[in-house]
Amino acid sequence: MYHAIVFFPLIGALIAGLFGRSIGARMSELVTTGCLGFACFLAWGVFFLVTGDGRAETVPVAQWFSAGDLTVDWAFKVDTLTAIMLVVVTSVSTLVHVYSIGYMHEDPHRPRFFAYLSLFTFAMLMLVTADNLVQMFFGWEGVGLASYLLIGFWYEKPSANAAAMKAFIVNRVGDFGFSLGIFLVFVLTGSVGFDAIFAKAPELKDATFHFLGADWHALTLACLLLFMGAMGKSAQFLLHTWLPDAMEGPTPVSALIHAATMVTAGVFMVARLSPLFELAPTALTVVTVIGGITAFFAATVGLVQNDIKRVIAYSTCSQLGYMFVGLGVGAYATGVFHLFTHAFFKALLFLGAGSVIHAMHHEQDMRNMGGLRPYIPFTTAMMTIGTLALIGFPFTAGFYSKDAIIEAAYMSDRPGHVLAFLATVIAALMTSFYSWRLFFLTFEGPQRWVAHGAHGHDDHAHAAHDQHAHAHAAHAHDADGKPGHHEGVAHDDHGHDVEPASHSAIEHHDDHGAHKPHESPLVMTIPLAILAFGALFAGLIFKDRFIGHDMDKFWGHALPHDSGNGIMHKLHDVPGWVANAPFVMLVLGFVLAFWMYLRRPDLPNRLATSQPILYRFLLNKWYFDEIYDRIFVRPAKNFGLFLWKEGDGRVIDGFGPDGISARVVDVTRGVVRFQTGYVYHYAFVMLVGVAGLITWYLVSGVPAVGGAH
């Protein structure tokens, strides 16, 4: 059963990837989706089987390699944590596959797309079932490779190629730390297997390790290096810059990356290695602080973004911060519970956004939308449910998991918990505001797409939806840089309405003129309905198992039981004002968004104009891209150019093959000049040669030929 769950997606990927041209796009879609559907069915069976009594087992697969004392085998570690990740990954991936059948129906490269999706899923399944750090690293790098392929799927777009490279390179930074952490764990414990590492770890509680000229607490250093990898994969503060640019990929890719794979890998890794982190409280403090900062930072940036997918992307970044706060304060169950519920409503929001983009014929800029509710009522309802779950409206999925993290941050006594609590509460206010801002700009208010002209649809245009529909928020400013032009409709120098400044879409026109927005087909709306059910009821159904009175039986030995000084039991004694704070924040966010975007739509422009520095700061994402470009990207490019031109071109080639060949050419050119055809020229050369030969004999003292012996 476990083998089928993991390897069926790989089989589908291989069939679609190797034989896609032979079997055709439709068969590729059916094969990959069928394989994922079967794996999903089995995964839910495993979930109820394993979590029923918190059982844990190791399933051997094959011997991998042996080097000296190190032996690494392929094996599946199956426990509650694994079972949760199996259902999250396979469920969301299956629905994304089904949704993509409708969303990508125009793309000529569908076999390649579905092969990449299934490969991505396989790599994530290898990661979450890993029994050792080396196998986990295999899956870790596999999702990195697959994300590169999917983000850059439309490789003819320079922006897609740049985004794919950015994701790959930024993740390599984190992965360098992750690999160093694996090496250090092996040095300390002599093993890479989880069970052996966890058994040895208590003996290393006070061990030190000399690194970079100083003595470090060994487990703290190891956990910080491992967490560096999690920061890259899960887009935490400082290593987050790749995540918004990942929107260059097709919308189903965004849903898969942000909801079930890739970004959840870091959260899973910290949860899996929680027995190590429990012995490194300083590392947990870093996890808490970074998580809190990320939740706050990403929420501030999401307030002013105009691309519908980018708003949801920064929402993902912020919610990942919540998850790390839960892990950092020792309430591991709350972090994993939020990962579980977040998968449903975030996939719903992304796929719902894809349905909006489909309806708007590739448009992604919310300033060119509005009044869509009568045209796409089902999508509107689904986005409403996703928004309610994201902001933590009572009794939705996000309400139980998100509020539990905020309460755990307050009740914790670990360093950094106050910062994390304040950051998550303030982020809850901003989350509610930008979520309703997205909803009102998209579905309510005036129909701005009428003023700007509905985008026609060219049946011969390249590929599918949102290929040309990516808004570059960082560059979404007009020529004179007036911040007021970002909110609402831009204006020209004479005050007339013009197309907003962001290059959010390349319009397509055909002979049939403009089209009105339309609802998506059933193959796209059915996955939305299933995800909406999870967004509404996943928290209510599973809260007692994840964080309630059944949690001990549910988790078994998958997570530490008494972590954080019994913080899970402290949640029953949370003060009323703390428990009600998230609800107050979501109400305030709704009222503000309602007032600013429905009652007084002139306020956003006025506010942006009155606070241009702050507005630009948020719109440009705290200028992290510009800072990194100046500090890292440009020097690296200049250094590479220097090595290419000077090192390789001037030195290596100049004194090497190019230099030698040039000298040979010079000599031959000189020799050729003597080939004139005149006898007296040849006699002169012979005379010079004889004179040179005699001179050499005289100077070197070598006796002449035929001389005395």
Q: Specify the pLDDT at position 633.
A: 87
Highest mean pLDDT among 352-356, 548-552, 601-605: 352-356
- On the question of pLDDT at 693 being above 60, the answer is yes
- On the question of pLDDT at 701 being above 80, the answer is no
More confident residue, 628 or 512: 628
- On the question of pLDDT at 256 being above 50, the answer is yes
Q: Specify the pLDDT at position 479.
A: 32
- On the question of pLDDT at 142 being above 60, the answer is yes
Per the CB < 8 A criterion, the answer to whether 53 and 2 are in contact is no
Sign of CA dihedral 572, 577, 583, 589: negative
Instruction: Record the tokens describing residue 313, joined without a space.
Output: 């992307």
More confident residue, 620 or 514: 620
Strand, coil or helix: 70:
strand
Degrees (nearest 5) of the Cα angle 698, 702, 708?
A: 110
Packing angle of the helix pair 80-103, 110-128 (nearest 10 deg): 170
Q: Distance between alpha carbon 174 and the CA centroid of its chain, in Å?
A: 12
Q: Specify the pLDDT at position 315.
A: 93
Buried b (16+ CB within 10 A) or exposed e, 423-443: bbbbbbbbbbbbbbbbbbbbb
pLDDT digits (tens, 9 = 90+) for 16-41: 999 988 998 899 999 999 999 999 99
Distance between CA atoms of residues 327 and 334, nearest Å: 8
Q: Specify the pLDDT at position 515.
A: 65
Burial class (CB in 10 A: 0-12, 13-18, 19+), 691: exposed
- On the question of pLDDT at 393 being above 50, the answer is yes
- On the question of pLDDT at 94 being above 90, the answer is yes
Mean pLDDT score, 286-304: 94
Mean pLDDT score, 140-167: 91
Q: How confident is the model at residue 583 (pLDDT cuts 50, 70, 90)?
A: very high
Residue with tokens 């590739």: 362
The phi-psi region of residue 132 (left if phi > 0; otherwise alpha if psi is between -120 and 50; otherwise beta) is beta
Strand, coil or helix: 156:
coil
Q: Specify the pLDDT at position 561.
A: 66
pLDDT digits (tens, 9 = 90+) for 175-184: 999 999 999 9
Q: How confident is the model at residue 267 (pLDDT cuts 50, 70, 90)?
A: very high
Percent of the chain with pLDDT over 90: 52
Degrees (nearest 5) of the Cα angle 186, 188, 194?
A: 55
Q: Specify the pLDDT at position 462.
A: 37
pLDDT digits (tens, 9 = 90+) for 538-577: 999 999 989 888 888 888 888 886 665 678 888 888 899 9
Percent of the chain with pLDDT over 70: 89
Average of per-residue pLDDT values in the chain = 84
β-pairing verdict for 57-67 and 208-211: unpaired
- On the question of pLDDT at 483 being above 70, the answer is no
Long-range contacts of 69-72 (CB under 8 A, 24+ apart): 69/190, 70/186, 70/192, 72/132, 72/134, 72/135, 72/192
Q: Specify the pLDDT at position 565.
A: 66
- On the question of pLDDT at 652 being above 70, the answer is yes
More confident residue, 382 or 496: 382
Residues 6+ apart with CB under 8 A from 449: 360, 363, 368, 369, 370, 371, 455, 517
Residues 6+ apart with CB under 8 A from 482: 609
Q: Specify the pLDDT at position 451.
A: 58
Q: Specify the pLDDT at position 510.
A: 36
Instruction: Record the tokens describing residue 591, joined without a space.
Output: 């009222």
Per the CB < 8 A criterion, the answer to whether 368 and 500 are in contact is yes
- On the question of pLDDT at 285 being above 70, the answer is yes
More confident residue, 147 or 676: 147
Degrees (nearest 5) of the Cα angle 299, 280, 196?
A: 115
Model pTM score: 0.84
